[in-house]
Amino acid sequence: MAYMVILCYRCGRALIAKAGCKTRLCPYCGARVALEKAKKLASASSADEAAEKLRAFNERKRKL
C-alpha cells in the first residue's frame, strides 16, 4: 500500500495519509484534509518509509 506525507491546510503540520483515500482527519487540529488538494511533501511505498520521511521533514523544519 502506498502512503503520502502531506501538510494540513489549517495548522500546517505534516501528517501521513494512505494513497487512494479522499480525505484525512488531521490529528493535531481536527481539520478534514482533502488529499487531492493537499500539499504533498513525499510519497512512500510502506508505512515505515512514510514515517521516516515524516521524521526527516519535521527534523529539517525544527532546524530552521
Q: What is the mean pLDDT of residues 9-20?
A: 96
Q: Is 80 exceeded by the pLDDT of residue 64?
A: no
What b/e sequence results for 32-56 when a residue is b if at least 16 CB atoms lie within 10 Å of its CB, and e otherwise? Answer: ebebeebeeebebeeeeebeebbee
Q: State whether residue 47 is helix, strand or coil.
A: helix
List pLDDT tens digits, range 15-27.
Answer: 999 999 999 999 9
Q: Is 90 exceeded by the pLDDT of residue 44?
A: yes
Determine the pLDDT at residue 20: 93
Task: With 0.85 as the threshold, say if the pTM is over it.
Answer: yes
